[in-house]
Structures are given as structure tokens and as C-alpha cells.
Structure 1
Amino acid sequence: MNYLRHSFINARDFLKGTKDYFKNVLLMHGFMLFLLIPILSNATKFILHRGNIRYISFDNLGDIVLHHPWVSFFLFIILLGIVLAVFFEFTFLLLSVYFIKKEQPVRLRQLLRMTIQQMRKIRIETVLFFFFYFFLVLPIGSFSFQSDLLSKVKIPAFILDFIFENRLIIISSFILFYLLMIYLGIRFIFALPEMILRDRPFRLAVKESWYLTKKRFFAIIAQLFIITGTALTLTSLSFVIVIGTQTLVEHFLSDYALTSAVFAMTLLQFFLLIQIVLSTIAIFYVIVDFMDDEGFLPPIPTWFSDEKSVAKYTGFIQSLLVITAIFFGVGVSLYNRNYLTDASSKIPITASHRGVSNANGVQNSIAALEKTTQQFHPKYVEMDVQQTKDDVFIVYHDFNFKSLTGVNLKPEQATLAEVKKLTISENGQTSPVPTFDDYLDVADQLNQNLLIEIKTQQKDIQALVTAFLQKYRLRLEKQGHILQSLSFDVVEEIKQQAPELTAGYILPFNLVGPPITEADFLTMEYSTLNRNFINSAHRDGKQVFVWTPNDEDTMDRMMFYGVDGIITDQMGILNAAITHQDEMTYSDKLFNFVIGIG
């Protein structure tokens, strides 16, 4: 109980001291977001362009390493630069909290100089451990060290869906691995602070952290949860109050709705800044406070000298800050007004994922195609095509029949005769595996356009695409069916052989922005999609489809971002969201801003 009471006292002190952290956190945040990240992003694109590499994904990493050694080398240098930059950020913020805890004023120049001094002590084992360290603390989630450079290190929603889709062994293994990472993350939590604040050698710092956390594991967990939970609760409550007040203004004082919304959005941005500060600094506060409570926080180094501010520059700096604040305020107000009055919401192209809506049938089955088409009328039915061993195209998603039929056999290693013996069981229904010819015949009879995903594993891509186009090219163009693939080479081959067909490239995640491709559209997993990616793709003349948002709030946000198409498992919800999109209020846009950060 004493630990809990002490944790709540620490949470109160942490929140009271928020103003002390603002300057340094926001300076570092701004430096990373507006300077370093654009530099690293553009450098990456330049290297890929010079190496004539048009994309980065799971299917070409091996090729880059084997056939583009110089590109691999410079990409490694950028990766190393990212690690060092995050180390710099970590050290800078840790020192900031340390001096605030010691109640010792310190100037920005001194913090930067001390941070650089620590950077000079880095050895290869330090870099390797640092990389490992953040791999460990990432599972701690919202109360771990938040860095803009690590913001894209996340598990896409489709992988989590795969993990938690009725697979007991995978779920159990994932949870155990997750808990192990949290445990190791806490046990090593003091290693880097020991190296930075106490100048401990690498091996000794790791050993001491392991020893210091042996009997304090749950106390540290409690402090992290209570401090960050309290901060998150307060900022979330602030969001609710602001958006709720805006809703009341729109209902009772509609003439002032836009003015109120601009002011409300400014307030939300202020609270988001507070949230950034709190989420960034929380782990440093817990570390430094815990080291202080346990008596192993070092005293201020003897070499530190307290530099007084130069009085003659004070007036100039204050005037400069006032002018900057005015320009910043005007810019924010204009941005907020444009954001709130932006009519970018468009009616997206609708597509039923694997031809199923709300589990109304067996995925990729003809029965589901008929039912979904007649009930929900999607613009496209998204479905999957694979080539069998005897060169017949069938409609099936997975690269093994086992999950849906119980037979351990890969489509590309099976003959059509073997496929016809299989029965798919899903959603309480059964279905044979259809051939693409039969599926296409039914779709054309229903006048239903298809979004055809061509899947491949070991097949020769050129031969696969050639065989597919020789048989279906004219029919696809005539009926308005379109194509897509997770294989970049498949899409490029389609556009080379049949440029008149519409084809898209599926990106499983967003690392360096839109690829350089002949594709007509890009399909992105919704949890990693943002407005910047959509705007970049549109500037390149590419449409953007998103898969698979299945709730109305996420669909609304995707439409407000400006996606051109939505692929979903819930066509009924999507149709309703499209019907209601003209009813989007300012408070709805503010909500989208908060949950999607614009």
C-alpha cells in the first residue's frame, strides 16, 4: 500500500511539474519532426532512387542486400543514424529531468553540450544494447519512451487480427512473448540511465539494473501505470469536455459553431502538446524519481558549472518569442479553419472484402458473391486468385488449404482434381473451392465488378501474368474488372503487358511513403495509413484504397482523410457511413483530429 500511495503522490508531483518539461520536450519534438525526420526520409528516397529501387517491402529486402550492396550500406548508415538520434533524444531528455529533479537550472546550450559528451562515449556494444533496449520497452506501449523516430514501429492491425483469430496456440505464445518483453524491459530499465548519469561501464550498468530491479519490479510497474494512467485520464477527459462543449454549441448556438470549433481545435492542440510532453517524459520521471528514492541518483557532477543568463539578451529573446508566438497563432488559426471547412470527404469506391459482409457466407465463394452483391451492391467484390499446379486459376486466399479445409496442401502444388475434392467451412457454412472461370461467369451475370488480387508464391511471375492475361485480358477490360497484388513485380508486369487494365499495388505497411510504380492505385492497411501518405499518392496521380476498416468511426476518418476506396468486411456499415457522411459536424471533425492526429 505504501508503494501505491507513493505512486499517487509521484503522479501528482509529475503533473504539477509539467511546465518545467515543456520547453525541452517540445524543442526536441520539433527538431525531430520538422528537421531530422524529413532529412532522413528524403535521404532514404534519394538512396533508393540512385539505386533504381522503387519500393521497400518484405519481398525485396533480400534482393536489395544481395544485389545492391551500396544501397544496403547507405540504408544501414541511415538506420544507424536513427539509432544514434534516438539515443541523443533519450540522453537529452533524461538529463533534462535529472536537473529538474535536482532543482538545478540548466541552459539549453549546457544540455546539448552534456548530451554530446555522452554521445562521444558510445561504443559498439552500447549501440547494440540500445537497439535491444528499445525492442524491449516497445511492448510497454503507451507509457514507454515515445519518439517520433520510432512512431512507425508498430504492429499492423491485420497481423494482430491474424494472431487473435481463434488461434489458441498463437495467441498464448504472443501473450507470453509480450509479457516476457515487458519483464525484461523493466529489469533493464536502469541500464542506460546508469551509463549516462553515473558513467557506469556497459557490463556493470546492465548488471546493476538487473540487481536493482530484482525486488522492485512491481513497484516500478505500479508507478508507470499510475503516473501514465493518471496523465492519460486527464488529457482524455479534456478532449471529451472540449468536444462535448462544441457539440452543445452546434446544437444551441449554431451561428457560432465555426468560430467555436476553431477555438476548440486550438484547445485540443494545446492538450495534445501536453499529452506529447507527458507521454514522452513519463518514463524518464519514473527512472529518475526511483533512483532518487532508492538513494542511487548521483549528485550534480563537479565539472558542471552554473552558467547565468546574459541579461542584455533577455529583452531581445522575449520580443522574439512574442513575435514567433503571434505568427504561430495566426498560422494555427488558419490551418484550423481550413481543416474544419475542408470538404475533402468524398464518396469512396466500395469493395466487399473476399465477397463477404458481416460473416454472411464462406469467403471467396460464389454463394457469398451472389448474396453480398444482391444485398449490399458494392462497386467491387474483392477476391483472390491463385494458379494450381496444372495452371488452372482458382479463387482462394490462403497459401495453404489447411486452415479452411483441414487438408495440408498448397494451392500451387495441387491439381484441379485435388482442389475439387476440398470443402471450405466458415461462418457455419460450407462451399467448394470455385475456379476463377466459374466465379467470373457469375460476377458478369450479376453485372458485379471484381477487384481481383493475384497471389503467388513460387510461380514464375512473368509466366503467371502472361497466362492470366492471355485468358482473361479482353474480358476484364470489357467488364471493368480491376486487379491488385501484394507482389510489386506482378503489378509492374501487368502494366507492361496490358497497360489498359487498372492495377494496384498492396502495401502491407508505410515506411518511406508511396513507391515509384506504374500502378494506378495503392492499397494500404488502415492502421498505418495517414493523410500525408494519401496526399503524396494523389500528387503522384495514384488513387488510394484502404483495407479493412470495419467500424463506422474508422470509415468516417478514412473518408475525411480522402481515401478513394474502402475494402471492408462490413458493407452494411460502410453503406450507412457513406449515407451519413454529409452530416459530419465540426465536432465529428475534431474527434477525427484527436484520434487520427489530423
Structure 2
Amino acid sequence: MHKWWQELRRSWRFGLMNPGLLSGWLGVALGGLSLRLVGQLPNTGWLAMAMVILTGVLVAGQLTRLALGLVTGRLPRWRLTGHLVAKYWLRWVSGLLALAVLALPFGMWGLGSQFLVHLTLPADWINFVGLNRRTVLTVVALIYCGLAGYFLLWGPVHFHHVLPIGSRPGTVKQMATGLGVSALISGLWLMGSEVLVVINRDLAVSRGVACWLVSGSLAVVLLGYLIGVGLLTVTLVWCWCGQPVISGQVKPTARPWLQVSLVLLVGVAIGGVAWQTVRQQPQFVRTLTISHRGVDQGVGVQNTLGALRHVQHHHPDYVEMDLHETRDHRWIVLHDENLRALAKQNVTPHQVTLAQLERLVVHENGYQDHLVGWPTYLRTAERRHQKLLIEIKTTRQDSSGMVARFAKEYGSRLMADHDAVHSLDYRVVRQLRQRVPQLRVGYITPFNWVAPRSVPADFYSFQQISISHQFIQAAHRMGAPAYVWTPDSVSAMTRSWALGADGQITNEVSRLQRVLKEESWHANWAVLQNFIFSYA
């Protein structure tokens, strides 16, 4: 093990510090940083695509030289490198695309959201995925894990012929060890970045100090990321090539002025990304407070009148609540499709009438209350002048005319109350917008993976775990507000605020109101945290 570690350190010194390879790494870093900068600007699709192609060629050439250098102990000339890349260009394109797909769930080097936010698909496809998200996610996760395991562990055996480097391919054990080292490197970067978040949160004593702290921290995080990616790339390529012993040292092949110029350009690009993150994103805008399921701090049972009366004392901008159709084609205020959790009865709303449901007692958080019908809930909210955000739940048992009846019976009334409706089912969104054009109707994203313009709506309720600045900006370009669900911790609330969310749907309204009373510069640490998550 000691010998293995010594050889790995030698490969790091060779792979990163050799002048010929260092120039290539600086070029790749400059390409990636430039992509990040350009991707934040509007109407730069053609330029971004050209830069993607150029960066891909740089990566292919750099990996070719790295692999040959690690095996032979000396770098090939650029003419040979170009010949090999051209000869195996189709395999290189396939390999780089595979790497991009594997990296997509982990931010894809900070470019994941910039790619997904431009991915346009038919609305019916998106709706199918959203309504069957558990099944789809399970299948996708299994396929992803299978492909990742095959490509990363058995890849050297099956794809070693991409480069005629004349060495034995890495074994599964070697690749697993390399992946473990890579995970350790990534973990150290993440831990160090989180330390900087704590420093920004605790040492920001004034607006000026907070601004300088976050700017410097962004640069340090990004520099650490570039170094970490270089280390883990050399590690994986070294293991892929069968962990060869580097036979010798290489004479410098790059001119010092070139390296100095590239270092300066990379430094400028890092500063540009930091400046763009701090100055150009619309952070800390006016944020609506929206009570999720009509509760606050667990007081009362969700979607009941008792919870509504309690949360209304905090004067949220909206109370979000849920509707299910009943057996007699009316509506009950209820989130779950089955009453096992709340009423200890294995029954669904479609199996009983509204009157039967209203007699049921539900329990949650040590409280109990009766289920309430939609007409009663709406009247109570109107008497208290409380605006509602209604989520219409759908199931396969819903009547064919459910949305049309809802629009006819309540469309005008909800408009007069300045209420809004949203749904996970895009068919509901589409029908309501057609039947009641003046009613504000939004689409709930179960996860953020396609361009919002694929599913046009008056506003969007974005899932909080995978939300990013790019998705919020995409909604704003359509003139649609962007709400986030369900940030409940101070950290999640502050990060959503920093991203520029127009509203937050939360179970902790009073906590959110306290967060929003803070001076925005106190929350600059959240800008850094969001930046880290975009690369993690």
C-alpha cells in the first residue's frame, strides 16, 4: 500500500506539474470557466456550443497526452496527439458524452443546470415523468448505477483500445481504489468549502466585509475545485492505465511565457465568475411567504380549519392547501391519496362521499381535527381575507369532467379573491388556463430537469432540492414568478432567498418571516453555499 501511495503521488506530480501537461490543464480550466461565464448570459447558445466543442477537443487532447505520458514517462508531440484524437474521434466523443451524463447528477462541473434549463421536451412526456416519478426515478437510478459501475470499474478492460498505449488495462480493484481516492478528494474539497461558508456566516460584521469575504471565498472554492478535479482526473487515468510505474522525468516542453499567460487568464476567469456570482444574480428580492398545507411549526393538523385559523395569525401572503375529488364528485381538503396516515383508515377520497369524509377525525403532531370540505374551507378563508394557493391533486379515478366543473364553479370566485391554483398534473394547468384565462395557474415541478418553457404556466413551484439560479431566471424570462417548495430550515430558506425566488412554500412560515427580516448582507454566505452546490 505504501508503494502504491508513492506511485500515485509521483503520478500527481507528473500529471499536474509537468510543464507540457500544466499548460493543457490551464487551457481546459480556462475553457470550463469561460463556459460558466458565457452560460449566465442571455442569447449565447451558438457561442456556448462552439466553446463546448473547443473545450471537448482540449479535454481529449489533454487526456491522450496524460495517458501516454503516464505509461511511457514522456509526453508525445502535439502532432501525434492530434493524430490519435482524430483517429479515435468517434470513441472520444462517445466517452466524453458518457462522462458528461455520469457527471450530470453532480452538477457536471457547474454546467448541469445550464444544460437542463435549455432542454425542451413535449409537455406530455414531462407530465408522464412527473406523474410516475417514483417509478421513473427508480428505473433511471438503476440504469445510472449500472452504467456508472460498468464504465468506471470495467471500462479499462472494454475500452482500453481507445489509445494504443501498450500497457495492461486497470483492474476492477484498481479502479475501485482510484474511485475511493477520488471520493476522498471531493470530500476534502466539500469540507473545506463548508468551512468557508461558516466563516462567511460568522465573521460578516458589516456589508463591506461580507462582500469581500464572499468574493474571496468564491475564488478560493473555485480554485480548490480546479485543483481537486485535476487530482482526481490524474488518479483515474493512472488507474485506468493499470497503475504503471513512471519510468522517468520529462524535460520541460512548454515555454514559460505561455504558462504565465494562461495562469493570468485563468485567474481573471476565476475573478470573473466570482464577480458574476456576487454582482449579477438578482439575489434577495421580495419573497412571498406561503404556508404549506396551511400549517406553521406543526401546530394543528394539515389542511384543517384549526391549522388555518392558527397560521392566519401570522398573515402569510398565501395559504397553500390541497384538493381531492370525492366519490360524489365534490372536493375534500386533503393532501394524501389514502387516509391511513391521518385517520388510520385504508380508504381513499374516491371511495366515500364528501359528507362521510367530513365526519372523519384526523390526527397529526398531537392534534386532532375533522376533515373539511372545500366549500367550507374557502368560505372560512374569504371571511378572514386570506388568499389561497390551491393544489389540485389528480388520480386515475378522477371523473373526466373534474377540471371543467372546478373551473365553472370556482374560477370567477377565485379570481375575485386573488387566489391561485397549481398542480403536479400539467393537464390540469393546461385546461384551467384555457377555461379561465384570468386565473393564475402554476405548474409544480417534482424535480427540475427540463426547460420551463416546455410547460408554459403563469408561475412555477420549483422543487427546492434541485433548484438553481438558472431555472428561476428561465421562469423570469417568461414573465412568470418562481416559487420554491418546501424550504423549512433557516439554511434552505436563506439559500432560496439568495437565488431570487419570488415565494417560498414552507411548513415554517413564522421562521421564514424572521429570516426575511434580516439585512441581506447577513445572508451573503448563502450565495457561497449555492455556488458550492452548483458544483457538487
Instruction: Give the structure-1-normalised TM-score.
Output: 0.67
Q: Which residue does 1:426 correspond to in 2?
A: 364
**Within 1, Cα distance between the matches of 2:261 and 2:443?**
48
Q: Which residue does 1:572 correspond to in 2?
A: 510
Report the Cα offset of residue 230 of structure 1: 3.9
SS at match of 2:298: coil
1:204-240 CA distances to partner (integer Å, 9 max, x unpaired)? x9xx98xx43xx3xx654443234314531x346536
1:484 aligns with 2:439: no
Report the Cα offset of residue 323 of structure 1: 8.3
**Within 1, Cα distance between the matches of 2:62 and 2:259?**
24
Q: Which residue does 2:184 correspond to in 1?
A: 229
**Within 2, Cα distance between the matches of 1:555 and 1:258?**
20
1:273 aligns with 2:233: no
1:99 aligns with 2:68: yes
Q: Which residue does 1:527 correspond to in 2?
A: 465
1:269-305 CA distances to partner (integer Å, 9 max, x unpaired)? 32233244445555334333x4437xxx9x9xxxxxx
SS at match of 2:401: helix
**Within 2, Cα distance between the matches of 1:382 and 1:344?**
24
Note closer, same or farther for the CA distance 1:409–1:492 as it changes in structure 2 (3 Å cut). same
Note closer, same or farther for the CA distance 1:254–1:472 as it changes in structure 2 (3 Å cut). closer
Instruction: Report which structure shows greater RCO (CA 8 Å, sep ≥6).
Output: 2
SS at match of 1:504: strand
**Within 1, Cα distance between the matches of 2:203 and 2:338?**
56
Report the Cα offset of residue 264 of structure 1: 4.3
**Within 1, Cα distance between the matches of 2:202 and 2:333?**
51
What residue identity is the alignment partner of 2:244?
D
**Within 2, Cα distance between the matches of 1:32 and 1:330?**
14
1:354 aligns with 2:301: no
**Within 2, Cα distance between the matches of 1:30 and 1:329?**
7
CA contact (8 A) 1:88 1:119 kept: no
CA contact (8 A) 1:380 1:450 kept: yes
**Within 1, Cα distance between the matches of 2:61 and 2:158?**
12
Report the Cα offset of residue 114 of structure 1: 2.2
SS at match of 1:190: helix
**Within 2, Cα distance between the matches of 1:281 and 1:547?**
40
Report the Cα offset of residue 378 of structure 1: 1.9
Give the 5 Å matches for 1:183-262.
188-197=154-163, 212-213=171-172, 216=173, 220-230=175-185, 232-233=187-188, 235-236=189-190, 238-239=192-193, 250-251=204-205, 258=211, 262=215
Note closer, same or farther for the CA distance 1:395–1:580 as it changes in structure 2 (3 Å cut). same
**Within 2, Cα distance between the matches of 1:561 and 1:416?**
41
CA contact (8 A) 2:30 2:265 kept: no
What residue identity is the alignment partner of 2:320?
E
**Within 2, Cα distance between the matches of 1:36 and 1:86?**
14
CA contact (8 A) 1:232 1:275 kept: no
**Within 2, Cα distance between the matches of 1:356 and 1:27?**
49
What residue identity is the alignment partner of 1:346?
V
**Within 2, Cα distance between the matches of 1:181 and 1:455?**
35
SS at match of 1:527: coil
Report the Cα offset of residue 556 of structure 1: 1.0
**Within 2, Cα distance between the matches of 1:195 and 1:38?**
40
Give the 5 Å matches for 1:89-488.
94-102=63-71, 103-106=73-76, 110-120=80-90, 148=111, 188-197=154-163, 212-213=171-172, 216=173, 220-230=175-185, 232-233=187-188, 235-236=189-190, 238-239=192-193, 250-251=204-205, 258=211, 262-278=215-231, 282-288=235-241, 290-292=242-244, 321=262, 328=269, 331=272, 335=276, 338=279, 344-374=283-313, 376-416=314-354, 419-420=357-358, 422-458=360-396, 463-488=401-426
Match of 1:495 among 416, 433, 438: 433
SS at match of 2:465: helix
**Within 1, Cα distance between the matches of 2:334 and 2:236?**
47
Q: Which residue does 2:121 correspond to in 1?
A: none
**Within 1, Cα distance between the matches of 2:383 and 2:151?**
58
What residue identity is the alignment partner of 1:229?
L
**Within 2, Cα distance between the matches of 1:177 and 1:106?**
37
Report the Cα offset of residue 385 of structure 1: 1.0
Report the Cα offset of residue 106 of structure 1: 3.7
Tell me whether 259-268 or 434-443 shows the greater mean CA deviation.
259-268
Report the Cα offset of residue 464 of structure 1: 2.1
Gaps spanning 5+ residues in structure 2: where?
117-129
SS at match of 2:88: helix
1:240-289 CA distances to partner (integer Å, 9 max, x unpaired)? 665677678754x986665565444333332233244445555334333x
SS at match of 1:584: helix
Note closer, same or farther for the CA distance 1:415–1:36 as it changes in structure 2 (3 Å cut). same
SS at match of 2:453: coil
CA contact (8 A) 1:461 1:489 kept: no
1:341-396 CA distances to partner (integer Å, 9 max, x unpaired)? x773123101111123333333222222222223x432211111122232101112
Instruction: Give the structure-2-normalised TM-score.
Output: 0.73
Cα-Cα RMSD = 5.0
1:78-129 CA distances to partner (integer Å, 9 max, x unpaired)? 9xxxxx999999966653441241333245665454234234469xxx97x9
What residue identity is the alignment partner of 2:29?
L
CA contact (8 A) 2:301 2:363 kept: yes
CA contact (8 A) 1:355 1:382 kept: yes
1:552 aligns with 2:490: yes
**Within 2, Cα distance between the matches of 1:345 and 1:109?**
52
What residue identity is the alignment partner of 2:305?
I
Note closer, same or farther for the CA distance 1:261–1:438 as it changes in structure 2 (3 Å cut). closer
Note closer, same or farther for the CA distance 1:150–1:515 as it changes in structure 2 (3 Å cut). closer
1:378-435 CA distances to partner (integer Å, 9 max, x unpaired)? 2211111122232101112233444544544443454335534655443344444321
